[in-house]
Structure formats: C-alpha cells, structure tokens
Amino acid sequence: MDEQKTLEHKINQSLSGGTLQNALNFVSFLRENELTLEQPDEGWAIMNNGEWMGYIDFHISPWTLFIDGHGGFDMNSAIDNTLKETTWANVNHCSQCSGCDDLGLRVTIFDRDFEGLCLLPLKFTNPDTATLENIKKLMLLLKQNRT
C-alpha cells in the first residue's frame, strides 16, 4: 500500500476547504524536499534519511503537526522574527501522555529557553496558511542542520 496515497486519502476524508488544501500543499512540500512519510500507526511520521523529524496526527482537532527539533534549534543562520515567534507560540508542554518519567525537557529554541517541554517540543494544531509557511521554513532549517 502506498503510504503517500493513504495520507492523501486520510486528508481528503478528514478535512475540508482551506484546511484540506493547506494539508495537501504541506504533503507536496514534504515530497518535493525529499522528506518521506511513513505510517507507524494511525498517524504519519515525517522522516529525513531514516531520522524522525515530525508527526502528522488526525486525532487532535482536525489535524496536528508535531515537530521533533531536539538538537536542531541552535542554528546560526539568520532567522526572521516571524518564524521565531510562530515557533515560540507553538511549544508543546509535557502532559505525560507517553508515561514520561520526568516533567518534560529543557529545550532552547532560537535562543529562548523553555522548561517542561514534551519529547515532541513543537505542536501546531490546525495550522493556517501563514503558519504552514513558517513550518516549511522550520522543516528546511532542521533538515539542513541534521545533514
């Protein structure tokens, strides 16, 4: 079964209007930038050369994108303020949903320290077009930083 077609099918079943188009455009962006999609369970993992970069979930209203940026946010390249602010506004605090032993992690994101963050430190719920443009920039920065 082709996971990319399955993801598109899920998007078409789960979303509508601008939200549907945003999600489909984001999947196209992932493919164009050689980030692969794998379906480990009911969501889809975003992978770069076998390394986990994020997760697309449809259990949280109506779709959510988690970004795993551990070790990838201390970038020296010029980051515009809109990207920083969008990223900082979407930090994901630990709710011990996976049975973590502690109360979250300390993560530095673009020179700002955050305490008590989830193992998936960024969470974008139902991202709009402007937010997705910033997520795309972030994904490219993370990919570049991990290469």
Q: For the chain, give the mean pLDDT.
A: 86
pLDDT band for position 16 (cuts 50, 70, 90): very high
Tens digit of pLDDT for each residue in 25-70? 999 999 999 999 998 777 899 999 989 899 999 887 789 999 986 6
**Long-range Cβ contact pairs of 23-26 (< 8 A, separation 24 or more):** 23/63, 25/132, 26/65, 26/132, 26/135, 26/136
- Residue 61: domain span: 3-146
pLDDT band for position 144 (cuts 50, 70, 90): confident
Count of domains for the chain: 1
